[in-house]
Structure 1
Amino acid sequence: MTIFLCGFMGCGKSTIGKLTAKKLGCGFYDTDELIVESQKMSIPDIFAEKGEPYFRQVEAETIRSMCGKSAVIACGGGAMLNPDSAKAAADAGAVVFLDVPFETCYERICGDSNRPIAASSTKEELLKRYNDRIDIYRRHSTIHVDAQGSPIEVAEIIADSVKKFR
């Protein structure tokens, strides 16, 4: 089964995803890392040189390429905003929404130059983006997890939820 983790930037998808994969005994992939590898350039460089629409197209292709793998996939914050990507992910397994309050996410992402959207946005702009996305994450997920606990605790919750989901 493929497990896709979604949520806002800084919610813990990569950290929790690695722990969840270990707990489930499967592989782990981070779509942002896969994109950097395939494009041979950093995400800020992709945004600067090719634009966000190009990045989103590559991101959607990356999501589709992960479907069917026995793995936990940490998706970029905008990946599940694409209805086609969200449907492909849900059809391939489980989409887990890591629900974390904005303030926690903001503390983790503010000043992060490797996140082009966070680096170029004010706190107010990021809060608006968070509020615009939260319902979309909920709608496109098959499992909703309060991810405010420790990464290990959240990974255990996800692993248990996925086992029940199967």
Structure 2
Amino acid sequence: MEVILIGFMGSGKSTISKLLGEKLNLEVRDLDQVIVDYENSSIHDIFLTKGEPYFRQLEFEMLQQQADFNGVLATGGGTIINGNCASHVQASDVPVVLLDMSDNAIEDRLGKRAGRPLASSKTTDELIELKHERDGRYHECADFVVKTDYKNPKQVVDEIIEYLK
């Protein structure tokens, strides 16, 4: 891999990964989509039918399978809360970029929670609390942090490219 994007749900990992891949002429993979394709089921349905522990184990296995992928990998918002995933990401030589957003941005970006299993049943305050719980792990795993508030995707991509140089 050339770069791994991490961050809370709604931080822009999917959008930024696509733009970054275009700018760097690299293939892009979204770990959640890899899981969906493998299971032939939505993330939401996997959570409902098989539970979060099953999903987190599968997420780790799919992350390991990406080791030889030469491109941009966007992870799920909870990928690095799994200790195995966090250790795997930290042990790699691949730059890990955290897309970080403020509490105010959470309400703006996650107002429509459809399709997000953990967000659909939480209030905005609970989502902010969840992000705060995860912040330490995000920062621990990150080699570089981009504050995404008040930036358009192009500005975020440009900042990442400058870092990668």
Same fold per superposition (TM over 0.5): yes
**What is the aligned partner in structure 1 of residue 17 from structure 2?**
17
Return the offset for 1:3.
1.1
Aligned length: 163
Q: Percent identity?
A: 37
**What is the aligned partner in structure 1 of residue 40 from structure 2?**
40
TM-score, normalised by the number of residues in structure 2: 0.92
Give the unaligned 5+ runs of structure 2.
none
Secondary structure of 1:114's match?
A: coil
**What is the aligned partner in structure 1 of residue 146 from structure 2?**
145
Larger proportion of helix: 1
Map 1:80-119; keep pairs closer than 5 Å.
80-90=80-90, 91-119=92-120
Return the offset for 1:103.
2.2
Secondary structure of 2:29's match?
A: strand
Return the offset for 1:92.
4.0
The answer to whether the 8 Å contact 1:10/1:106 transfers is: no
TM-score, normalised by the number of residues in structure 1: 0.92
Give the unaligned 5+ runs of structure 1.
none
Secondary structure of 1:117's match?
A: coil
Instruction: Kindly provide the amino acid, as one letter, of the partner of residue 137 in structure 1.
Output: Y
